Amino acid sequence: MLQTTLTHLDISYAFCKNVLAVAVLTKLKHLNVSGNRLVSLPMIFSNLGTLQTLISDDNGHIFVDYCLQKMTTLTNLSLAKNPLAVLAPYIGNLVQLVSFNISQTQIRVLAPECFKWSKLTTLNLTDSPCYCPPKCYHHDVSKAMNTLLQISEAFFNDEFRLLHEKILDFPGSVCYISDTTKLVLTDLGISHIPNELGLLKKLRHLDLSSNRIEEITAPVGDCVSLMFFDVRKNPIRFIHVEAARVSINEFFMDPTETEMPPPEVGLQEDANQIWSFMRGCYNSTEENFFVASSIGISYLPDEIVRNGHKWWLVNLSHNKLETIPTNLVVSKMLNTLIISDNPMESLPDWLNGFKFLRDFRCSGIPFQKFPRVLTQLTTLTRLEMGRCSLNEAPADIVSLSLLVDLRLDQNQILVLPGRIGQLVLLTHLLLSSNKLRSLPESVGNLSNLICLAIDNNDFVSIPLQVGRLSTLQMLMVHNNPLRSPPDTVIRQGSQAIIDFCKSIQESTGFKSINLTKKGLTIVPSEVVELKGITELKLGENNIKDIEADLSCWDSIKSIDLHGNLLQFVPKSFFALTSLTALMLHGNSIRELPTWLGMLTNLMTLTFDRILITQPCQDIIRQDTVRLNIFARCM
């Protein structure tokens, strides 16, 4: 029978199944119940109001019993060799504790309430995974408690700061402060980021500068509210793709040759570019596209391409790629590939394995010769090859029969394939800044063309084929040495030019051409070269002379040039032996040449008599049957 006056009781490893009787020992000061397989301590132990030492090692405890909450007289508590994983907050009520032993347990974090143990001098965490307080403080109780105090204060301030203490490990218990919005852990010697960081869903500001962190790991990506992240003065060598799940506004990292992202990215002065790249990598694992433009990469890491089989769009423009990355071959579903402005010289033959490729853009790559593999991509609807130093467009480009958008601007192309009109689905044809002087006749067959750009070339006149393009809405012709159409037409814009070409084009199938009031300063070369016309109306324009070879007008019978700026009858008319009518009134002609009398078929001539100071008698013949002269007074 137990003596109620006992002050010390040791029943360790006695395999007692029932220790309830101990509760009657109200004078007890020291109790050891270790090794009795007590999964929990009886609540009745809370009646031991004088107990100062409790040892309950190796008992199989999996949680701290609630009865400890009332055992406020305890100065020594040992729970070693138990499978404990957590300490309940109410353990902080043991404010008289001098010694606390949780060695060989599974406890990783001390409850922040433990900072209340102001009398604690011994803290035994031997062989436990506890990292808060940090392991370097496991034998320095004052620093351990100070750390816990700062964590506790963070509960109320939503901000935790720990500076210039070499704690070596990230204090993971901080991460259980769910309302924390700002976390500053600088110059602490931290070498890793714990998984618990992802618990801080409200964290907006994270400063881990001046530590020893080599990897930015996935838990960062779980901080969904993170806006500011500073890892300067850390030897960062690897950023995990999953860390970029969060879109950070301000990211700070020293330029360094990283393994991931590629070194060229890691050396970027603007750290936000680095995070943008990683965001693109993450998106590529979650989405069906990958964008990594203007970041200077020379290769594509395999880690990024692991989900490449799902991609439908890849943008690698403005980088340092010398060839298309071979690991892209897995992207069989690729629809759009953009590799513009990379230092490549050729394209790989395996490119023709992309059977679903619709959009290919490779502008700014100095191919010089058109890559033949492109003519095998028969599914293409858009091909963009501006600034590729091309001197020709091959005839077999017409094999790309599905093309809707073809851009060959800023090259050195002299002539287009004669069969280009077979690309009947084209809506956009951009040929700006080449060396073209003409367009093939077949261009007129592009019945769906909406936009045609031939600016900055060597065109003297707008090709008449433009007049056959009934759907054309935009025509760019500036910076060409144009003589036709006249400037007055060009200044009116695309539609006026199109209408001008259309009017001439429609006239080519008839013997009579009417170009009255078109603002012409010269006779368009396309008109000069027309054969078989018998009537030409050029009245009320701004023509000063007609110097061209008119040998094609051998059938012309009537020319109307009234209301122009002629000061003399064009000498080229001397060869128009079939001419029967010539209207010259409304010009500034002061003299009629004698050779007009040699045009034996000329029956009608109009001019302003008041301007003719000395009419030629060789013209005004007595034979009025042959020549009727209509002299018009101004």
Based on the domain organization, do 525 and 491 belong to the same domain?
no
Q: Which of 69, 102, 130 is the last residue of a domain?
A: 130
Percent residues over pLDDT 90 in the chain: 37
d(CA 320, CA 265): 11
- Exposed / middle / buried, residue 391 (Cβ in 10 Å: 0-12, 13-18, 19+): middle
Range of the domain at 555: 508-632
Residues 59 and 27 in one domain: yes
Whether residue 13 has pLDDT greater than 60:
yes
pLDDT (0 to 100) of residue 556: 94
* Range of 144-148, 531-535, 612-616 with top mean pLDDT: 531-535
Task: Cite the beta strand spans of 255-393 per DSSP E.
Answer: 289-291, 313-315, 336-338, 359-361, 382-384
pLDDT value of position 164: 47
At 499 the pLDDT is 83
- Supply the mean pLDDT for the chain: 83
- The per-residue pLDDT for 268 is 85
Q: 95 and 111 in one domain?
A: yes
Lowest mean pLDDT among 18-27, 51-60, 492-501, 543-552: 18-27
> In terms of pLDDT, which residue wins out, 426 or 260?
426
Q: Check residue 595 and give its pLDDT.
A: 86
DSSP conformation letters of 4-47? TT--EEE-TTS--S--GGGGG-TT--EEE-TTS--SS--GGGGG
- Assess whether 482 and 398 both reside in one domain: yes
- What CATH number is associated with residue 84? 3.80.10.10
- Residue ending a domain, choose from 130, 146, 168: 130
| pLDDT tops 50 at residue 633 | no
Instruction: Indicate whether 321 pLDDT > 90.
Output: yes
Higher pLDDT, 123 or 516: 516
Length of the chain: 634
Task: Answer with the residue of higher pLDDT: 49 or 251.
Answer: 251
184-193, 230-239, 387-396 — which is least confidently predicted? 184-193
Same domain, 499 and 553: no
pLDDT, position 2: 55
pLDDT confidence of 622, banded at 50, 70, 90? very low
Whether residue 621 sits in one domain with residue 515:
yes
Q: Is 315 among the domain residues?
A: no
- Give the residue-averaged pLDDT of 215-242: 92
Mean per-residue pLDDT for 284-294? 80
Task: State mean pLDDT over 520-529.
Answer: 81
Residues 27, 9 contacting (CB under 8 angstroms): no
Same domain, 531 and 480: no
| Alpha carbon separation from 203 to 153, 162, 207, 208, 223 (Å, rounded) | 16, 16, 11, 13, 6
Q: Looking at the structure, do residues 515 and 617 belong to the same domain, yes or no? A: yes
Which one is predicted more confidently, 514 or 134?
514
The 10s digit of each residue's pLDDT in 398-435 is: 999 999 999 999 999 999 999 999 999 999 999 999 99
In a domain, 359, yes or no: no
Which pLDDT band holds residue 630 (cuts at 50, 70, 90)?
low
Task: Write down the residue that tokens 């394995």 correspond to.
Answer: 353
pLDDT at 99 exceeding the cut of 90:
no
Distance between CA 604 and CA 625 in Å, rounded? 11
Structure tokens at 495: 């539609």
The pTM assigned to this predicted structure is 0.61
Residue 578 has pLDDT above 90, yes or no: yes
Residue 624 has pLDDT above 50, yes or no: no
309 found inside a domain: no
SS (H, E, C) 464-481: HHHHHCCCCCEEECCCCC
Q: Are residues 559 and 454 in the same domain?
A: no
Among 507, 533, 551, residue at a domain's last position: 507
Q: Which pLDDT does position 520 carry in this prediction?
A: 82
Specify the 3-state DSSP secondary structure of 489.
helix
pLDDT of residue 189: 79
Number of domains present in the structure of the chain: 3
End-to-end CA distance of the chain, in Å? 149
Instruction: Say if residue 125 is in the same domain as residue 2.
Output: yes
Gyration radius of the chain's alpha carbons: 46
Q: Exposed e or buried b for every residue in 483-500, given b needs 16+ CB within 10 A?
A: ebbbeebbeeebebbbeb
Residue 113 falls inside a structural domain: yes
Q: Are residues 617 and 546 part of one domain?
A: yes
User: How many helical (H) and strand (E) elements, i.e. helices and strands, does the chain have?
Assistant: 6, 28
Nearest to 283 by CA among 236, 331, 328, 246: 246
| Cβ neighbours of 62 (radius 10 Å) | 12
Distance CA 516, CA 548 (A): 19
Tell me what pLDDT residue 626 has. Answer: 44
> Does 62 lie in the same domain as 32?
yes
Residue 74 has pLDDT above 50, yes or no: yes
Nearest to 373, CA basis, from 356, 344, 353, 395: 353
